[in-house]
Amino acid sequence: MKRAELVSQIRAKGTYLCVGLDTDPVKIPEFLHHENDPVFEFNKAIIDATLPYCVGYKINTAFYEAQGLKGWESMEKTVNYIPGSHFRIADAKRGDIGNTSTHYANAFLKVLPFDAITIAPYMGEDSVKPFLQFDGKWAIVLGLTSNPGAADFELKELNGGERVYENVIRTVAGWGSTDSLMFVVGATQADEFINLRRIAPNHFFLVPGVGAQGGSLAEISKKAMNGDVGILVNSSREIIFASSGKDFAEAAGLKAKGYAEEMKNYLDI
């Protein structure tokens, strides 16, 4: 999906919500367990219920890989079920030497129909560039993450005063355009957003960590939006596990609707 289409979807629907399909099989409602593929049945119902309130879905590959072959199959079925009107993110945190990254890029952006994949930047330019070779596809590179471990390396200060994550965002921004690169910035890092917009004024940020991890939607929206909206805010557990009963999909839809209604207030439309 190209940037212009993503922005127009956001404006048309009045939402920049991304629903995270962190589908942990042990949290799926009991009554789905007799299905042949409970993970896919769960995801299908969640997608059907949340489609009007979001512009994208983020599939956290770890939850699928933990189920082995069966999990990989559930993931394939899920990404193929999401309609092309919605932005499909593989939250896979890949990145390796160039030759290997090329294979990861093929895996997610060609073999599977994802629009984007999250990338760990540690190994530098040749580990990121293979993900930038596909028209209308995106690399979403880790900038400043939402977890406590962000303090260990990302927030360390480099010689000259710049912090590691600032240097990462500034450097990586030079490797691709705002049509193929986004950055992950955790919602728990709201204090950093104004500074971040100085470094990368025009890029989209994928913002996880709202909800279960504690970030505030109002604060992020105020500090991080740019002229093209420029943020996709992800919520996973809080939406998809809103209820563990027969009404799980309806409850997820309501939660997503709540986010979308709040977002409408922050959008200048």
Among 34, 36, 83, 159, interactor with a second copy by CB under 8 A: 159
Give the distance from CA 176 to its chain's centroid. 19
User: In Å, what is the CA distance from 22 to each residue of 57, 61, 63?
Assistant: 10, 8, 6
Instruction: Annotate each residue in 45-84 with x if it binds a second copy (CB under 8 A) or - if it does not, as one string.
Output: ---------------x-xx-xxxxx-xxx--x--------
Is 60 within 8 Å of 21 (Cβ atoms)? yes
User: In Å, what is the CA distance from 66 to each residue of 40, 61, 182?
Assistant: 15, 9, 27
Structure tokens at 137: 């596809």
Q: How far is the CB of 6 from a second copy (least distance, A)?
A: 24
Judged by DSSP in three states, 95 sits in: coil
Residue 73 or residue 179: which is nearer to a second copy going by CB?
Answer: 73
List the interface residues with a second copy, window 225-254 (CB under 8 A): none
93 is known as an active-site residue:
yes
Q: How far is the CB of 193 from a second copy (least distance, A)?
A: 19
Judged by DSSP in three states, 208 sits in: coil
Q: Which residues participate in catalysis according to the annotation? A: 93
Q: Which residues bind a second copy (CB under 8 A)?
A: 22, 24, 60, 62-63, 65-69, 71-73, 76, 91, 93-98, 100-101, 103-104, 106-108, 111-112, 120-128, 142, 145-154, 156-159, 161, 164, 167-168, 171, 213
